[in-house]
Structure formats: structure tokens, C-alpha cells
Amino acid sequence: MSNPLTDPTSDPTSGSGSGSGSGSGKSSGVRAGSASGSPAGSPRTSPGVSPGGGDHLDISRRRLLGTVGAAGAAGLVIGAAGGAGIAAAVSEDGSAAGAAGPGALTSVGATQVAFHGRHQPGITTPLQSRGHLVAFDLAPGAGRKEAAALLRRWSATARTLMAGKAPAGDTGIALDAGPSSLTVTFGFGRTFFDRTGLASRRPSQLDPLPAFSSDAVDPKRSEGDLWVQIGADDALVAFHALRALQKDAGDAARVRWQMNGFNRSAGATARPTTARNLMGQVDGTNNPKPTDPDFDRRIFVPAGAAGAQEWMAGGSYAVVRRIRMLLDDWDQLSQEGQERVIGRRKADGAPLSGGSETTPLDLNKTGPDGKLLVPDNAHARISAPEQNGGAAMLRRPFSFHDGIGADGTPDAGLLFVCWQADPLRGFVPVQRKLDRGDALSKFVRHESSGLFAVPGGAPEGEYVGQRLLEA
């Protein structure tokens, strides 16, 4: 029998798999919740399955039980999402249940994220273990018509791939993989609007970011007419999507720059934890949470907001920075020194003012020597919303490592991606402050920069950006 999750020729949304009725064999994965500190929070969903649909979970549970059964494990945790936001199948002794039987996908491969929705996927989706960030410029002579056709093609391909299916003329790179939490997110850069004759509809939020004194930005690796973010929990699935979208670009657009990143893989930690970056810090703890009452207002453009472009309703602005970490210098610091740079403990991310990872920072607490426990130039202090008039953003980065640089040190760091309803009330004020007095500045270098308007999610029957390109 064809397995809709492993057979790219079968349609996982057509009900051709095992089971019947809504949310049965056609659903493909565990809809993971989000642990505190994860940049994620909105559950991963499956098309055609209503939120909270019990059937879906039951089927997933059966599928996973089959998987775990093959591994001989008795216990199972479903829907546990870590900082990396990954649903995990874990045996009673805490070890991952990895020996899937023939035809069975683990929750990693089976998890599917919905393409259609109020927001584009890849913003509140739990961090995936692989990512590609790619900017394209429209080809000379390509304008609004070609851009609209391209977004239509890209949306169709993204929808197909995110459902774990193969697009026409497929390369076969991910033939035997499930959707693997693939997300594809599309954005428009400032220059897109001039090239398409849409300058009057460019939001003021796309005005160039101010120059920051510590920037060492390479224009060739910055900005771009169009931006695509790909995330997946499998490297081949992510590359497959990258290839398909590049091929779709055809004569309409050319790659301007590409960056490849990664996060921790599912099952690598026994317990769900917030992600770590390449400096070894727990990173993502104090992200705004989707359960916060003001989350939507801070991260997404509201419909009908004064001065906003209506086509951006439900959208968000992404600031993208390739931040090189000067790891050789960083490693010279003692662990205590490293912890004072951030203001948090390295082992568990707890504030230096005490408590556990999720304890709020006490910025006024002093030690027996009368000195502030969270130093006055600590990164976590300077970037805290209360120090920046409430400015907040959702940080959703990937790490990168591109070998050894010309200077003989690792060309590694953070593909910093942050999301906000308005960069002037998110990234800009915080980076201004960090630029002036952050203890971390000595150990990082911003090497590229991009600002992109990421429209709201496409409703069924529409493509991403249609309300801009066809209105």
C-alpha cells in the first residue's frame, strides 16, 4: 500500500493513506507545542486538520507507537517541543526511539506545517534543524508581471513541498522523506518596489536601517529584491526545496546571495531545551511568547493599522543579519567572563541575578561587593525591552559555519533573523543600544544586513503577495 508520507506520488491530503475521515491517514505529523523560550509557539499543523483535532493526534500516536514498538521501547512522549521546538519520540529511559520500521517515519519526518494561514509559515514555527536564506534580484527586464508569475509558481511549489509531495519535474532529492517540518517564507526587499513600479505601495517600515558604528556590512551579501527563508528538520528536504525554488525562478530572478544554517537536531537532547548558539549560550530564552497578550501586536502587522499598507496585514518585517562570531577571541575568556558578557549562566541560561532559566532578570540586584550581578554592559540587560522603551522582536536564528575564513579563524556565527511588526519598534532601537555599549560587540561582527517585508499568509486559492501584486 502506498504510504502518503513516503510516497511522493501519493497525495497526503487526498485521503489515500490508511484510515479514513477527517484528519486520519492524511495527517502526517505531531503538532508540537512550544516549550518556554522557544521562538515558536504556534503548533505545526496539517492541512485539513482542524486545530485541536483529536483524530490527528491519535493517528500520530499510533504511528509513533509503531515506530517506538519497532525500537522495543515502552514509553512515548508526543508533542513535547523543545527550544528547538521539535516533537520527540522518547523511550521511558529517556533515549530517543530511532529505529523506525520499514515505511514508518519518525515524528521528525512526519511533521507537516500548513502553508496557508493568516501568517506565513516559518515565523512562529518551532526552529528547524536546517535552514537556507536566499535573496534574489529580479532579472533585467523583469517587472511586476514576471514577479507575480514567479510568486504564483513559488507558492504552488512551497505548498506542494510542505505537504511532502513532489512538484512537477522533480529532482527526486527528497523522494523518500516526509514533510520534515518544511517551511518556505517569502519576503520583499526595498528595491523590489521600484523594479515592479509599486513604489507607492512600499511601506515606510522598509526605509533603510540606520548605519551602526560597528557594522562591517558587505553590500553584495545584503538586501535583495526578494527573500526566501527555507527551514526543515532534514538537510535533504531543505536542499530539495532550495533547488526547486531556484529552478522555478527561471529567467525571472537570479540568486543574489545564499546562506546556509543549522540548529540542533531532533532527539539530540534527552529533554526539550532552548537552543544553544555557537558560543555555547542558551539563546532564545526571553523571546516574546505567542501566549503573551501583546505578542501579535508586536510581531505582526495588524489589519487597518494607521499608515500601514493593507497588503501587509498579518505580515511581519524580517531583519536578517549574518553575524560572525569571533570564536577564537571568545574562547580566550573564562567561563565566568563569558557569563558576565551575556548576564546569564552558560550551563542553563539562568540570570546571574539568580533563579532558573525562566526567572526574570533582576537588573538591580547587587552582590556582596555592591556590584550589579547582571553587569551594566551585559547583552541581556542592554537588549531587554524595559531598557528600550518596550522594543521587542522574535529572534529565530540559524547558526552557520562556512569553514575557516581568510584570517584563519572560523567563519561561523549566527544567521540572525528577527521578526517584528515594525523594525523601528523592534530591531533598530535595540541594535542602536547594543552598538554603543554591549559587552558582546567585541566578539561579534555584523557582516551583512537585509530588511524584508514578509506579507501575511496566503489564503487557500491565493499566492503569497497576491494582494500587493494584483490589487
**What residues line the site for ligand HEM (CB under 6 A)?**
277, 279, 281, 283-286, 323, 325, 342, 344, 349, 361, 379-380, 383-385, 413-414, 416, 427, 430-431, 434, 440, 444
- How far apart CA 64 and CA 80 sit, in angstroms, is 13
- How far apart CA 13 and CA 45 sit, in angstroms, is 12
Residue 435 is a catalytic residue? no
Least distance (Å) between residue 324 CB and ligand HEM: 8
Q: Any residues with CB less than 8 A from the CB of 211 and at least 6 apart, and which?
A: none
Beta carbon nearer to ligand HEM, 6 or 274? 274
Least distance (Å) between residue 385 CB and ligand HEM: 6
Beta carbon nearer to ligand HEM, 78 or 434? 434
Beta carbon nearer to ligand HEM, 80 or 326? 326
- How far apart CA 54 and CA 16 sit, in angstroms, is 20
- How far apart CA 126 and CA 118 sit, in angstroms, is 17
Least distance (Å) between residue 447 CB and ligand HEM: 11
Least distance (Å) between residue 136 CB and ligand HEM: 24
Q: Any residues with CB less than 8 A from the CB of 378 and at least 6 apart, and which?
A: 340, 341, 342, 343, 352, 439
Beta carbon nearer to ligand HEM, 158 or 444? 444
List the helix and strand counts (H, then E) for the chain: 11, 9
Least distance (Å) between residue 225 CB and ligand HEM: 24
Beta carbon nearer to ligand HEM, 55 or 212? 212
Residue 419: CA count within 13 A, CB half-sphere: 32
Question: Which run of H or of E encompasses 467?
Answer: helix 466-469
Q: Cell numbers 548558539 label which residue?
A: 277
Q: DSSP characters for 317-348?
A: EEEEEEEEE-HHHHTTS-HHHHHHHHTB-TTT
DSSP state of 126: P
Least distance (Å) between residue 246 CB and ligand HEM: 28
Least distance (Å) between residue 431 CB and ligand HEM: 4
Residue closest to ligand HEM when measured from CB atoms? 286
The active-site residue, picked from 225, 234, 283, 438, is 283
Q: Any residues with CB less than 8 A from the CB of 52 and at least 6 apart, and which?
A: none
CA torsion through residues 232, 235, 239, 241, sign: negative
Beta carbon nearer to ligand HEM, 100 or 392? 392
Phi, psi of 222 (to 5 degrees): -120, 165
Beta carbon nearer to ligand HEM, 360 or 459? 360
β-partners of residue 414 are: 323, 399
Active site residues: 283
